[in-house]
């Protein structure tokens, strides 16, 4: 199944946009509500692509699932006591080997999904780290332009007996043909069948968008809707995989002043220093099931040099969070404090939207603590 009918819907649905003129009214704001601080030992990394809330089905404890890149292992922090509740060891090689882990989905203590993107593997382990089942997504090293690397920053979505992934095509990102590759894949947990489907929106086609262009974020609301935040697009793309419907909703930033131009300079070494710094990009999208809202992250442009004459880098780029209601209407936007938050480390729980204070440029960075600032939604 290549889901060609979805590709047709994308083309036909491209013109079917809601809120395309950017009309909106702000009714909500994000306010800092609390700080969460989890102690780290020397064997635990202070950055990770996998941070998400999980409720222990046996004790009903609210936990933070954290992939420790150093050991590796999966650490489950108690969100109320802000201490380690459980640690699941992972082995890269041997009879319990899962490869190099990059993403986790905890279904139960006897069913923990471990994605190893660079190894093209998906494994199931239990709370002792024992390998229960292993899926090889490629035969040998047979990756090609029709395959893709599972994305580190988007969550794994489970629906019925299938897992769904955001992927990056195995293509040259500086070639316009990159955006003709597939962006999603699915794994049937019963049969092991692994399939690719879906493409980038039409506005990507025929151009090169630099190192930030391929990135996008995916989330799901549990109703069959897959919600995509693409880097250069003001719109969210919403595809219902059960019904085969396709919609676009305007979800842009009020701070954006210019269109995102494609990367035309052939010197790749200037991509990060010039193009990526000076370009506006969207990033993550996450659902808040407690408030029935969505949060979309925006990465703003910045000069190559700061006011002191020192070189900026990607971690100096300002951030803002766009608030959308359950119908994907923009109802607020929050500009974050500069050089504080790490763009790809965030989760939603009863505490609110929690974002890691582990930006390498943060002057108050704590090496021995994992710190999150949590934001609550309030009426204007």
- CATH number of the domain where residue 126 is located: 2.40.128
Same domain, 119 and 89: yes
Lowest mean pLDDT among 65-69, 136-140, 192-196, 244-248: 136-140
Same domain, 141 and 290: no
346-380, pLDDT tens digit by residue? 999 999 999 999 999 999 999 899 999 999 999 99
Rounded to whole angstroms, the Cα distance separating 371 from 37 reads 4
DSSP symbol at 126:
-
Grade residue 15 by pLDDT with cuts at 50, 70 and 90: very low
Instruction: Give mean pLDDT, residues 206-230.
Output: 91
Where residue 224 falls (left for φ over 0; alpha for ψ -120 to 50; beta otherwise) is left
Grade residue 8 by pLDDT with cuts at 50, 70 and 90: very low
- Give the burial string for 233-267 (b: 16+ CB within 10 Å, else e): bbbbbbbebeeeebbbbbbbbeebeeebebbeeee
Q: Is 41 helix (H, G, I), strand (E, B) or coil?
A: coil
Grade residue 257 by pLDDT with cuts at 50, 70 and 90: low
Computed on alpha carbons and rounded to an integer, the radius of gyration of the chain in Å comes to 20
Residue closest to 43 by CA, chosen among 78, 104, 87, 101: 87
Report if residue 153 sits inside a domain: yes
332-342, pLDDT tens digit by residue? 999 999 999 99
Grade residue 316 by pLDDT with cuts at 50, 70 and 90: very high
Same domain, 213 and 344: yes
Report if residue 189 sits inside a domain: no
Six-digit token pair at 47?
């950055």
Rounded to whole angstroms, the Cα distance separating 39 from 326 reads 35
Determine contact, residues 257/317, Cβ cutoff 8 Å.
no
Chain mean pLDDT for the chain? 90
Lowest mean pLDDT among 82-91, 113-122, 138-147, 303-312: 138-147
Count of domains in the chain? 2
Same domain, 154 and 246: no
Lowest mean pLDDT among 174-183, 218-227, 264-273: 264-273
Determine contact, residues 36/354, Cβ cutoff 8 Å.
yes
Q: Which residues contact 190 (CB under 8 A, 6 or more apart)?
A: 161
Report if residue 368 sits inside a domain: yes
Residue 22 has pLDDT above 70, yes or no: no
Grade residue 55 by pLDDT with cuts at 50, 70 and 90: very high
Six-digit token pair at 85?
């509740």
Q: Is 335 helix (H, G, I), strand (E, B) or coil?
A: strand
Which pLDDT does position 132 carry in this prediction?
A: 98
Single out the residue in 159, 190, 224 at which a domain terminates: 159
Same domain, 279 and 375: yes
Same domain, 380 and 236: yes
Grade residue 292 by pLDDT with cuts at 50, 70 and 90: very high
Report if residue 12 sits inside a domain: no
Six-digit token pair at 7?
């590709």
Vertex 65 angle, CA 353 and 349, to 5°: 25
Lowest mean pLDDT among 96-100, 221-225, 236-240: 221-225
Instruction: Give mean pLDDT, residues 87-93.
Output: 97
Rounded to whole angstroms, the Cα distance separating 172 from 201 reads 18
Rounded to whole angstroms, the Cα distance separating 256 from 280 reads 7
Same domain, 315 and 297: yes
Instruction: Provide the domain limits for residue 118.
Output: 50-159
Q: What is the pTM of this model?
A: 0.91
Same domain, 240 and 369: yes
Residue 88 has pLDDT above 90, yes or no: yes
Same domain, 251 and 127: no
Residue closest to 63 by CA, chosen among 77, 44, 46, 82: 77
Residue 118 has pLDDT above 90, yes or no: yes
Grade residue 9 by pLDDT with cuts at 50, 70 and 90: very low
CA distances from 73 to 49, 146, 195, 362 (A): 13, 31, 28, 26
Determine contact, residues 302/277, Cβ cutoff 8 Å.
yes
Rounded to whole angstroms, the Cα distance separating 225 from 229 reads 13
Same domain, 308 and 288: yes
Report if residue 149 sits inside a domain: yes
Report if residue 248 sits inside a domain: yes
Instruction: Give mean pLDDT, residues 157-171.
Output: 95
Single out the residue in 130, 159, 188 at which a domain terminates: 159
Same domain, 67 and 82: yes
Alpha carbon of residue 52 to chain centroid:
11
Residue 4 has pLDDT above 60, yes or no: no
Residue closest to 313 by CA, chosen among 172, 209, 211: 211
**β 245-250/17-18 pair status:** parallel
Residue 140 has pLDDT above 90, yes or no: no
Grade residue 19 by pLDDT with cuts at 50, 70 and 90: very low
Which pLDDT does position 264 carry in this prediction?
A: 82
Instruction: Give mean pLDDT, residues 197-215.
Output: 91
Grade residue 24 by pLDDT with cuts at 50, 70 and 90: low
- Burial (Cβ within 10 Å: 0-12, 13-18, ≥19) of residue 127: middle
Q: Which helix (H) or strand (E) holds 318?
A: none
Residue 10 has pLDDT above 80, yes or no: no
Report if residue 66 sits inside a domain: yes
Same domain, 213 and 136: no
Report if residue 234 sits inside a domain: yes
Rounded to whole angstroms, the Cα distance separating 184 from 274 reads 30
Lowest mean pLDDT among 47-51, 267-271, 302-306: 267-271
Single out the residue in 134, 159, 184 at which a domain terminates: 159
């Amino acid at each position: 199944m290549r889901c060609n009918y979805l590709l047709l819907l994308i083309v036909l649905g491209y013109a079917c946009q809601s809120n395309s003129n950017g009309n909106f009214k702000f009714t909500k704001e994000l306010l800092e509500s609390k700080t969460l601080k989890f102690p780290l030992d020397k064997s635990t990394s202070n950055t990770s692509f996998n941070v998400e809330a999980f409720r222990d089905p046996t004790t009903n404890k609210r936990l933070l699932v954290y992939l420790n890149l150093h050991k590796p292992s999966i650490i489950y922090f108690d969100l109320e006591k802000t201490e380690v509740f459980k640690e699941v060891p992972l082995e890269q090689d041997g009879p319990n080997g899962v490869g190099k882990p990059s993403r986790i989905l905890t279904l139960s203590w006897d069913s923990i999904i471990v994605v190893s993107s660079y190894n093209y593997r998906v494994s199931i382990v239990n709370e002792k780290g024992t390998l229960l089942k292993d899926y090889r997504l490629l035969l040998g090293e047979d990756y090609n332009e029709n395959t893709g690397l599972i994305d580190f920053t988007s969550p794994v979505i489970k629906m019925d007996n299938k897992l769904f992934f955001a992927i990056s095509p195995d293509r040259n990102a500086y070639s316009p043909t990159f955006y003709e590759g597939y962006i999603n894949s699915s794994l049937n947990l019963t049969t092991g069948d692994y399939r690719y489907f879906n493409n980038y929106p039409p506005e990507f086609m025929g151009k090169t968008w630099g190192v930030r262009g391929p990135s996008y974020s995916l989330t799901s609301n549990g109703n069959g809707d897959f919600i995509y935040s693409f880097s250069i697009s003001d719109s969210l793309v919403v595809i219902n995989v059960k019904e085969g419907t396709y919609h676009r909703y305007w979800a842009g930033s009020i701070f954006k002043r210019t269109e995102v131009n494609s990367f035309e300079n052939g010197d790749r070494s200037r991509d990060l220093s010039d193009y990526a710094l000076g370009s506006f990009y969207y990033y993550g999208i996450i659902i808040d099931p407690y408030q029935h809202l969505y949060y979309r992250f925006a990465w703003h442009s910045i000069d190559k040099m700061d006011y002191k004459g020192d070189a900026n880098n990607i971690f100096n780029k300002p951030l803002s969070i766009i608030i959308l209601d359950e119908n994907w209407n923009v109802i607020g936007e929050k500009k974050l404090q500069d050089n504080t938050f790490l763009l790809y480390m965030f989760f939603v729980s009863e505490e609110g939207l929690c974002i890691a204070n582990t930006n390498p440029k943060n002057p108050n960075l704590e090496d021995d603590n994992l710190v999150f600032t949590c934001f609550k939604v309030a009426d204007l």
